[in-house]
Amino acid sequence: MAQIIVVTSGKGGVGKTTTTAALGAALARNGQNVAVVDFDVGLRNLDLVMGVERRVVFDLINVVQGDATLHQALIRDKRCETLSILPASQTRDKDSLTAEGVSRVMEELREKFDWVLCDSPAGIERGAQLAMHHADHAVIVTNPEVSSVRDSDRIVGMLDSRTARAEQGERVEKHLLLTRYDPARAARDEMLSVDDVIDILSVPLLGVVPESEDVLKASNVGAPVTLAAPNSAPAKAYFEAVRRLEGEELPVSIPTEKRGLLDFIFKKRGA
């Protein structure tokens, strides 16, 4: 029986798709059976970030409507045997995702995998609500910036009222993932601090992912950053987050300005 995680944020462009791919691949690397599901109908991107865009035949809507079986639509990752992707449709009308259809697909996924990660569309409308409805856990992706924090707050409210768990009087377990964190700007007090965001949202911290060009490079070549550059700073943050999701208790590392020996030498030379 899988744990279902929704990766959500309200605001667009904060790093949901990047995070879904990175966490999914990291869990799979730990030997877990993982499905990542793209709920961003119309603007699908997860297939691209995962590098399987040319292998898409069927999608979530086909399965929801019964035109394809789940087995036909799932794409197995070539780098990581235990990782599968269920892509979203790019063309079809998003109203064709019915609540009952989605429930049926999620139940089937729950039986086949250990973890199911749902990449939510931006916004707080129907699409985002469908993506979160069956979740046991929510990874709330937030940038240290006012509009992102505000939107995350709306999402927190919806997780507490509009999900299957909420309807049964239970709770979706919420985790705050701060991404695109810039240590240099944080040091200059130009950015909300990690503590500020935790304080304002009152959601426990799952991890802090630094702003890094390794993320961009990974998406250029179509690989989750945890597979493309497993030793990079963002990948380490994602691997740490996954250990915490798996129940391990370990302190969250906050990225600091990287002033390695090399930087130091080059600085000296340049001066």
Partner 1 sequence: MSFLDNFFSRKRPSSSTVARNRLQILLAHERGVSGEDDTNLLRTLHREILEVLARHVSVDQDNVNIKLDRGQNCSTLEIDIQVPETGLRAQVSTSASDLK
Among 214, 215, 209, smallest CA distance to 241 is for: 209
26 binds, among partner 1, Mg ion, ligand ADP, none (CB under 5 to 8 A by kind): none
Distance CA 185, CA 136 (A): 34
- The letter for the amino acid at 192 is L
Inter-CA distances, 1 with 74, 107, 111, Å: 18, 9, 5
Q: Which stretch binds ligand ADP (CB under 6 A): 12-20, 102-110, 147-155, 157-165?
A: 12-20
Q: Assess 166 for contact with partner 1 (CB under 8 A).
A: no
Q: Assess 252 for contact with partner 1 (CB under 8 A).
A: no
Distance CA 122, CA 48 (A): 17
| Residue 9 or 32 with smaller CB distance to Mg ion | 9
Residue 46 tokens read as: 């997860």
User: Cβ of residue 67: shortest distance to ligand ADP, in angstroms?
Assistant: 26
Contact 4, 110 (CB under 8 A): yes
Distance CA 9, CA 147 (A): 11
Distance CA 27, CA 40 (A): 22
Q: Assess 191 for contact with partner 1 (CB under 8 A).
A: yes
Q: Assess 193 for contact with partner 1 (CB under 8 A).
A: yes
Distance CA 75, CA 35 (A): 9
215 binds, among partner 1, ligand ADP, Mg ion, none (CB under 5 to 8 A by kind): ligand ADP
Name the 3-class secondary structure at 129.
helix
Q: Assess 169 for contact with partner 1 (CB under 8 A).
A: no
Q: Which stretch binds partner 1 (CB under 8 A): 78-86, 128-136, 145-153, 163-171?
A: 145-153
Q: Assess 17 for contact with Mg ion (CB under 5 A).
A: yes
| CA dihedral over 249, 254, 23, 28, signed as positive or negative | negative
51 binds, among partner 1, ligand ADP, Mg ion, none (CB under 5 to 8 A by kind): none
Judged by CB under 6 A, the residue of 216, 257, 263, 267 near ligand ADP is: 216
Give the binding-site size for Mg ion (rule: CB under 5 A).
2
Residues that bind ligand ADP (CB under 6 A): 9, 12-18, 45, 122, 179-180, 209, 211-212, 215-216, 219, 234
